């Protein structure tokens, strides 16, 4: 991966546009299974963030907007995973891009457990890299067992393991700090476009029940929540079949 924001566009421009903003890991590798499942049904746009510790959330949003403009993409649905939701709220104010809908995939407004976010940042910063690498490798082994039928997914998991290093660790720590400092609630309270929330039933990283409660009460654009009972925090990867059908239904129901 390069030191600049990367973009890939899959599918015909005549199809509905779905723009994926990755989570804390920062790349398009863990969404491979979802992307393959929506092939031919949407124009799927995906990003990989640079391993930077210098960017603010506004820098992320501005860089995404610039890449979309360079690709000639003026409007589309945002599919914001976890950390990507913090970028997505800012993109609702973009000048050169118009979001027509927002799907939060394990995403949130203000994180409902800020103490946990700060604790995770300290742990990721101070733990030996070998420990964190073991966690990543363990996740990849479990994912390989679950998705061993797809060579494309296996290749993405191999690349995901190989990408983990010190610079990615530091970038992840910085993203956790950005989450802890960010409060996009005023943006969400002003959001009139359709907003949906998709989550796995077991999500210890972003508890979904307070997110659902806040969106129903405070966000004027809120339309629906969907819990995928076979998925975890990586709802697009571990609950792909249900996530695909739910997302496509939301995109087309209007």
Asked if 45 contacts 73 with a C-beta cutoff of 8 angstroms, the reply is yes
Element at 166 (helix H, strand E): helix 166-181
Residues paired with residue 17 on neighbouring β-strands, in sequence order: 43
The per-residue pLDDT for range 136-169, each reduced to its tens digit, is 666 666 655 566 567 777 777 777 777 788 998 9
Q: Where do the domains of the chain lie? A: 6-111+184-252
What is the structure's pLDDT at 150?
A: 73
Task: Give the C-alpha separation, 155 to 235, whole Å.
Answer: 20
The per-residue pLDDT for range 45-66, each reduced to its tens digit, is 999 999 999 999 999 999 999 9
In CATH, the architecture of 6-111+184-252 is 3-Layer(aba) Sandwich (3.40)
Element at 140 (helix H, strand E): helix 129-146
Nearest in space to 64 (alpha carbons), one of 42, 24, 97? 97
What is the structure's pLDDT at 141?
A: 60
Q: Would the pTM of this model clear 0.85, i.e. be above it?
A: yes
DSSP line for 112-138:
S-HHHHHHHHHHHHHS-HHHHHHHHHH
Mean pLDDT, consecutive 10-residue stretches, the chain (254 aa), reads: 84 97 94 95 98 97 98 98 98 97 98 96 87 67 61 75 85 97 98 97 94 98 96 90 96 80
């Amino acid at each position: 991966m390069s030191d600049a924001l990367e973009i890939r566009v899959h599918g015909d421009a005549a199809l509905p546009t779905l723009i994926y903003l990755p989570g804390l890991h920062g790349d398009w590798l863990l969404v491979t299974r979802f992307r393959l499942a929506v092939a031919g049904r949407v124009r799927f746009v995906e990003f990989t963030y640079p391993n930077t510790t210098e960017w603010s959330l506004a820098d992320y949003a501005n860089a995404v907007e610039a890449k979309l403009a360079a690709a000639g993409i003026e409007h589309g649905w945002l599919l914001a995973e976890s950390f990507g939701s913090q970028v997505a709220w800012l993109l609702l104010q973009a000048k050169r891009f118009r979001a027509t809908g927002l799907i939060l995939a394990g995403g949130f407004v203000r994180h409902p457990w800020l103490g946990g976010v700060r604790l995770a940042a300290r742990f990721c910063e101070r733990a030996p890299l070998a420990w964190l690498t073991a966690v990543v490798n363990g996740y990849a082994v479990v994912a390989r067992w679950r998705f061993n039928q797809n060579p494309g997914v296996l290749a993405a998991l191999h690349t995901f393991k190989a990408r983990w290093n010190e610079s990615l660790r530091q970038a992840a720590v910085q993203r956790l700090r950005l989450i802890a400092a960010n409060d996009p609630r005023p943006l969400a309270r002003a959001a009139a476009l359709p907003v949906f929330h998709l989550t796995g039933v077991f999500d210890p990283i972003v508890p979904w029940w307070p997110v659902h409660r806040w969106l129903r009460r405070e966000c004027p654009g809120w339309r629906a929540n969907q819990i995928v009972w076979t998925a975890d925090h990586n709802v697009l990867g571990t609950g792909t079949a249900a996530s695909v059908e739910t997302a496509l239904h939301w995109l087309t129901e209007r």
